[in-house]
């Protein structure tokens, strides 16, 4: 479900109107998160580490209203729930786009997520589907400890979906860290909101 945001009373009205027609309205930040606790818990309990941190990122996004805002037919809206559209790699070196509904119960999310990942791995091509607005585009590049990142974009098509990418986890004297990038539409999201999302996400990673 979604609801239209009332521009007349929205504190971000001027910000939205200012940025919405930019050729490139997205801004991006790269940070490093501590995933020592989350990785250790996944290893101990036999869970997928990828699905574990993906679930935590979705929980943090759903708790941060700005990350649930989108532009729908030129108007700002806010969704009740945001889900995941992560890339899934295949053994042949290609990848496909997947779709995973968010569920507060990690066991439910992980079970459905594993089935979706297996479906994509058995397939071929990009697995393109009808574009959904109530998602975040996730990707993972576990081979690279990046410090900067940009995305391929089609500027002729309006886009307001956040993009979150995770990089290579490394071990520094027992402390495991991972880079991540967050790109978001500046008409809907400010660095303040990214900070709120990251604070919640790190708390969840810490357990």
Q: How many C-beta atoms lie closer than 10 Å to residue 151's C-beta?
A: 13
pLDDT at position 155 is: 76
Q: How deeply is 81 buried, as exposed, middle or buried, from its count of CB atoms within 10 A (0-12, 13-18, 19+)?
A: middle
The answer to whether position 91 is within a domain reads yes
pLDDT at position 13 is: 97
The answer to whether position 18 is within a domain reads no
pLDDT at position 154 is: 81
CA–CA–CA angle 17, 20, 22 (5° rounding): 120
Q: Which residues of the chain have pLDDT under 50?
A: none
The reported pTM is 0.95
The answer to whether position 14 is within a domain reads no
The answer to whether position 6 is within a domain reads no
Q: How many C-beta atoms lie closer than 10 Å to residue 11's C-beta?
A: 7
Domain count, the chain: 1
pLDDT at position 176 is: 97
The answer to whether 71 and 158 are in contact (CB under 8 A) is yes
Q: How many C-beta atoms lie closer than 10 Å to residue 154's C-beta?
A: 7
The answer to whether position 123 is within a domain reads yes
The answer to whether 33 and 205 are in contact (CB under 8 A) is yes
Token pair for residue 52? 């574990």
The answer to whether position 160 is within a domain reads yes
**CATH number for the domain that contains residue 129:** 3.30.559.10
pLDDT at position 157 is: 80
The answer to whether position 161 is within a domain reads yes
The answer to whether position 19 is within a domain reads no
pLDDT at position 144 is: 97
pLDDT at position 158 is: 82
Range of the domain at 175: 27-206
């Amino acid at each position: 479900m979604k609801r239209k945001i009332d521009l007349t009373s929205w504190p971000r009205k001027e910000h939205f109107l200012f940025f919405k027609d930019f050729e490139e309205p997205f801004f991006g930040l790269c940070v490093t998160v501590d995933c020592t606790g989350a990785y250790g818990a996944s290893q101990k309990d036999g869970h997928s580490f990828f699905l574990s941190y993906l679930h935590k990122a979705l929980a943090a996004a759903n708790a941060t209203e700005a990350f649930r805002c989108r532009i729908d037919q030129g108007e700002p809206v806010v969704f009740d729930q945001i889900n995941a559209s992560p890339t899934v790699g295949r053994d042949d070196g290609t990848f496909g786009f997947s779709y995973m509904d968010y569920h507060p119960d990690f066991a439910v999310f992980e079970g459905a997520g594993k089935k979706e990942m297996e479906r994509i791995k058995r397939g071929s091509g990009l697995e393109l589907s009808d574009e959904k607005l109530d998602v975040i585009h996730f990707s993972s590049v576990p081979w690279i400890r990046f410090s900067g990142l940009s995305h391929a974009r089609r500027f002729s098509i309006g886009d307001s979906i956040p993009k979150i990418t995770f990089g290579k986890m490394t071990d520094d004297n027992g402390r495991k860290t991972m880079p991540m990038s967050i790109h978001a539409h500046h008409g809907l999201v400010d660095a303040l909101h990214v900070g709120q999302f990251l604070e919640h996400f790190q708390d969840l990673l810490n357990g």
